[in-house]
Amino acid sequence: MERADVVVVGGGPAGAACAAAVRRARPDADVLVLDRADFPRDKVCGDGIAPEALDVLAGLGIDVPALTAGFPAVPRLRLQGPGGTTVERALHRPSLVVPRAVLDGRLLAQVLATGVRFRRHTVRQVTVHPTHVEVDGVVRAGVLVGADGAESVVRRTLGLAANPPDRLAIAIRGYAPVLPGLDGVQVVTTTDQRWPAYAWSFPIGDGRANVGYGELVSGDVTRTELVAGLHRMLPGVQPEGLRAHRLPLSTGRPRLPGGRVLLAGDAQSLINPLTGEGIFYAVLSGALAGTAAGHGPRAGEVHRRLLRRRLGGHLRASAVTSQLSRWPVLMDAAVRAAQADQRVFDDVVALGLADGRLTARTLAATARRLR
């Protein structure tokens, strides 16, 4: 049986960050990444990367300029509320948009260069023993991290239920020519039709944009309705390569397991319920899992504590805001507040794309603009 100190299931951003964190904490650790696909490979995603996600990767020793080379920064963001109220401002720090076929391959390659091993393998069964964890009877690890996405096999084998339909979104994504006036602008737009629903357009710097549309699974939306929603909210868009994916929202995340098996990223239901953002959560939770992995049988307990300390306040704020967003009038009031004050705009962006909080300033400004 093949052995490793830490086995990471999934080579995407969460898994790569985890492996990098293990090696950074313990340069002699034997880390094995398992994935059912070779890299580079595409992953259905909005492709937007908040600067805070790049900060996490830089802290792990990742060469961020090499990771994002060829993809210019996107300095502005346009938000549209469900009633049509719109604000467009410069971001406090520019975001980037890098197709996942590029990002994931580059990131994993940098991590493998540190001595991490990679093997193509489709994981079907995880068996936990007091002293180790076995994968399909062929790999044995001291600690195993499930970073295997929204359909996580590791999560299922631990007996953890999937998100309920009202805590699970579905989105469709493709690539299209950038709409006039939107080059260098990320767009997130909402609508009161089939509320809550949203669409996005994120330019990747070559004349194309990643475009998509999503809503809750509990709305029983069909693929035809997803495509219609995309065209309705981004008039004139001409997408190609449309593919759908599910988004397990953080409002439905399970209690993390203790012991030697951890979860990170989408497998842990770490998707922002306001925007569908997941890359920041993925690299942060993966990095924390890698830090916790060195604690062996207490890794799960340590991982829970690290996540609570780092993201607990933010996750509570995003959950409360998600509940408040059920009233479209509040969302439009927040957009009007962001129109009037750059600081409120920055607060809203941080809450939706990184680890921001629901600040007293934003609450007060929103309340003043209710009408």
Per-residue pLDDT band for 256 (boundaries 50, 70, 90) equals confident
Give the CA-trace dihedral at 49, 52, 58, 62, to 10 degrees: -20
Among 357, 349, 356, 149, which Cα is nearest to 269's?
A: 149
Distance separating alpha carbons of residues 295 and 60, to the nearest angstrom: 19
Sheet strands (E) in 158-290: 168-177, 185-191, 197-203, 208-216, 240-248, 261-263
Sign, Cα dihedral of 52, 57, 59, 62: negative
**Do the Cβ atoms of 60 and 291 come closer than 8 Å?**
no
**Do the Cβ atoms of 18 and 303 come closer than 8 Å?**
no
Instruction: Encode pLDDT of 172-193 as tens digits.
Output: 999 999 999 999 999 999 988 7
Instruction: Encode pLDDT of 193-203 as tens digits.
Output: 777 899 999 99
Does the structure show a pLDDT above 80 at 73? Answer: yes
**Do the Cβ atoms of 103 and 11 come closer than 8 Å?**
no
Residue 261, beta-bridge partner list: 144
In order of their start, the domains of the chain are 2-71+96-164+250-320 (3.50.50.60), 165-247 (3.30.9.10), 327-368 (no CATH)
Q: Judging by beta carbons within 10 Å of its beta carbon (0-12, 13-18, 19+), is residue 371 exposed, middle or buried?
A: exposed
Does the structure show a pLDDT above 90 at 227? Answer: yes
Instruction: Encode pLDDT of 269-292 as tens digits.
Output: 999 999 999 999 999 999 999 999
**Do the Cβ atoms of 262 and 256 come closer than 8 Å?**
yes
